[in-house]
Amino acid sequence: MRRLFPDPGPTDLDAELDSYLPIENPPDHRPRVAVNMVTTLDGRAAQGGNTKQLGSKTDTEHLLALRTRFDAVMIGGGTMRAERYGRIISRPENRKRREEEGLSADALAVIVSGDLDLPFDAPLFTDGSGRVLIFTRKDEAPQTETPVDLITVEGLIDTSDVLTHLRVEENVRAVLCEGGPRLFGQLVAGDLIDDFFLTTTPVMTGGDAPHILEGNLPDRVDFRLESLLEADGDLFARYGRP
Ligand SMILES: NC(=O)c1ccc[n+]([C@@H]2O[C@H](COP(=O)([O-])OP(=O)(O)OC[C@H]3O[C@@H](n4cnc5c(N)ncnc54)[C@H](OP(=O)(O)O)[C@@H]3O)[C@@H](O)[C@H]2O)c1
């Protein structure tokens, strides 16, 4: 891996993420919010229905390294259906590292799903580790090995309210949103993003794959490039807010 900006030169993921400490100094009313997404050159978020063919091995390592730094990882129902998540902090060494750094061993898994039509046979629910919190319009979920709590909301689920709940009721200092495009769109529309990690993978997919950002979006939101890395042809950009 090499760093292209700032200070070009050889680097590695540990060196790049060591000083990134999102749980420090969170706002009072919501957690610090980071989003991590992978995009094709034509701005698509998936190929063949999910992200398995997008991004390199390093992109997966980057994702796993990022997760170790957050109290919670949040996704939308569409992502849970397409990606069938397992335990969020899957590697024992990462759970150990989290505990050493003042985090719980497992990150809280947060899902926003109005209809609760989720794959309850996916490893996240069957593994029995950690905890899942689902913001939904339904008031009952199937029994699962992994403890699941529902936050039942009437009408539209407001992502700003979700974040307030996470901060006030769950003491979540920093949350990593891993998409998908429609949940990401709501965070952008609500101006709720502090850090944006974008991996660009050198393929075009076209077809009917969603764009990485979907929904009613503002005309313009400004970001500032914090760093740019390259590995295996993938570009790893980290953006902050001006
Ligand atoms: N490139 C990437 O980095 C990346 C990351 C993640 C996902 N993806 C891909 O993106 C695709 C899925 O796209 P998507 O836009 O459907 O994903 P999504 O944003 O994860 O899911 C949308 C779904 O989330 C729920 N939801 C989101 N906001 C809600 C709200 N305010 N109130 C109630 N429910 C809400 C709804 O679920 P219910 O329908 O359950 O009510 C909605 O259908 C998949 O192909 C996946 O592989 C790509």
- What's the mean pLDDT in 100-118? 97
Q: Domain coordinates of the chain in residue numbers?
A: 26-236
- What's the mean pLDDT in 82-111? 97
Look-up of token digits 């500032």: 224
**pLDDT tens, residue by residue, 168-186:** 999 999 999 999 999 999 9
Give 26-236's CATH code, choosing from 1.10.10.10, 3.30.1600.10, 3.60.21.10, 3.40.430.10. 3.40.430.10
**pLDDT tens, residue by residue, 189-233:** 999 999 999 999 999 997 899 999 999 999 999 999 999 999 999
Ligand 1 atom closest to the Cα of residue 209 is 45
Asked if residue 30 has pLDDT above 90, the reply is yes
Q: What is the pTM of this model?
A: 0.98
**pLDDT tens, residue by residue, 116-134:** 999 999 999 999 999 999 9
How far is the C-alpha of 99 from the C-alpha of 106, rounded, in Å? 9
Report the residue among 38, 42, 79 best suited for mutation to probe ligand 1: largest number of ligand atoms under 8 A from its CB: 79
Ligand 1 atom closest to the Cα of residue 83 is 47
Instruction: Tell me if 75 CB under 6 Å of ligand 1.
Output: yes
Predicted local distance difference test score (pLDDT) of residue 55: 79
Phi/psi for 88 (5° steps) reads -70, -45
